Structure 1
Amino acid sequence: MPGGRLTQQERQQIALGLADDLSYAEIARRLDRPTSTVTREVMRNGGPTGYRADQAQRATGRRAQRPRQAEVREAGAPLEPGRDAEAVRAYEETFTDILVQSGLSRMMARILVCLYTTDAGSVTASELVRRLQVSPATVSKSIAYLESQGLVRRERDEGRRERYVADDDVWYQSVMASARSTAQLAEVARQGVGVLGSGTPAAHRMENIARFTDFVSESIARAAEQARDILVAKPAAAPDGGHGAGTPSGAGPEG
């Protein structure tokens, strides 16, 4: 199986595969590459609908000219013990790209990824400056926005230093916001029934949209409420003394 960076020709094959609606696994098989390589390549370069081979090639060249993230860590933000620096760097880039596609700016996404991938779950402004190699003003501006959206909060440690914390409840709040947005879509679609004339094909279409989005909104909200405790669950001790995934009581599927 070939290793190393993807070539221009391989990136063109990825673009063609996406255009043909092939799965990442199938594209990887044709390239004789790991599926994770193709997935990471696509997600960090526009996603399945925005991927362009030439743009991806240029972006890779620009990234290669930047200081390596592992080297930045050595300057002031070491990895947690026992972790593969290259694997963590690649994962953080993939995670960042996903958050960017959800609507966050890249800097805000990078800050959140720092918070979520740190065992402590919190960082100081100076730690973010060193780790991300950006100015204090950039960190301050991004944190202010993230805080206004309820994505991070501030607290002080024993040394009275201000620390930024990723709130465990943020994913619940995000999902509930999505449910509310979907419910609003249902309401607007239902208003269209009266405007377009009850019994007309257009009104019937709007009614179906309203019923569908109503059901989806209610299902999302109900599932989020049932699963909310998972976000703060502690890992359960496995029978052999190890650690397993913790599942809160009542949050699993009903029998």
Structure 2
Amino acid sequence: MANKPRRYFSEHEKDEIWRMWKSGEGLSTIAKSLNSLSPSIYDVLSRNGGVKQIKRQRSSLHLSLAEREEISRSLAQNKSLRMIAKSINKAPSTVSREIARNGGIDNYRACKADKKAWECAKRPKQCKLSLEPALRELVALKLKEFRSPEQIAGWLKLQYPNNENLHVSHETIYKSLYIQTRGVLKKELLKYLRSKPRLRRTKTKVKNQRGYIQDLVSISERPASIEDRAIPGHWEGDLIEGTHASYIATLVERQTRYVCLVKVDSNSTYDVIAQLISHAKTLPSDLYKSLTWDRGTELRAHKKFTQETDVNVYFCDRCFSRQLALIS
């Protein structure tokens, strides 16, 4: 079978690649979900060293181009500043300052004013290493001594406790090494890192880390009708791993104890959810009303399962083991 050709990604697909990468998915998993190849995914991520650049956005508090065009039209119609301010739902003082700094009433032009505002807007904060040459030299020196960025950050705080200009986080050091567009630390310093991954996976808060399941509903919120096993159609499931990376999803109906086995290709949430959806559609809706699962990340995409099947998903509390989840 011929290999899939490399492809170009839309902006939406690129956002999805970065979202999955940040959540902890590997290159092969991301490629499979987008029907692509790992090298194509790597090309997208490697341009910024595996760290997504924050796109510059206009603040909702500032005047938009449409509002500036309304100001320009209203000035041509000799409307007062208060009338203009009311039409765009802004304070008269805001309109007055906008006109004054862009040529006055006679020379105000919306496009020119908008371009000037965008160019004068505050840029993202400059990297501390680019602002502090002494700090940059210290970091480079310690990297050449095979110190890790975490060790360097800690050493700086101990060595210069009263000089915050010489303090820097380890994440800033990593980003300066992996994002060469910053022009701060030379790429050659990468060879001094103890581990040398080709791409940097930014450390994030718990809600974005691998293993976290967003928007889950706890088993404690499961209706009483499910708890007493009085009504059929409520299932409990788990994923079992066999030899040679084989996987089977086990489903147990709570009232009858009827067991279904669903073979899945991998423990990827996309494979597991796809097979569970296919299996759910083979059963009458009256016999599949809810699914209870443990905290396994294979059900991270549980919302897609619910959208496709109209089956509510509940998750066991962390204190429950995988075995207890099936017999609760």
Work out whether the TM-score is over 0.5: no
What range is the shorter-chain TM-score in? under 0.3
TM-score of the two chains, using structure 2 as the length reference: 0.23
Structure with max Cα Rg: 2
What TM-score does the superposition give when structure 1 sets the normalisation length?
0.28
Which of the pair is proportionally richer in helix? 1
Structure number with the bigger relative contact order (C-alpha 8 A, sep ≥ 6) is: 2
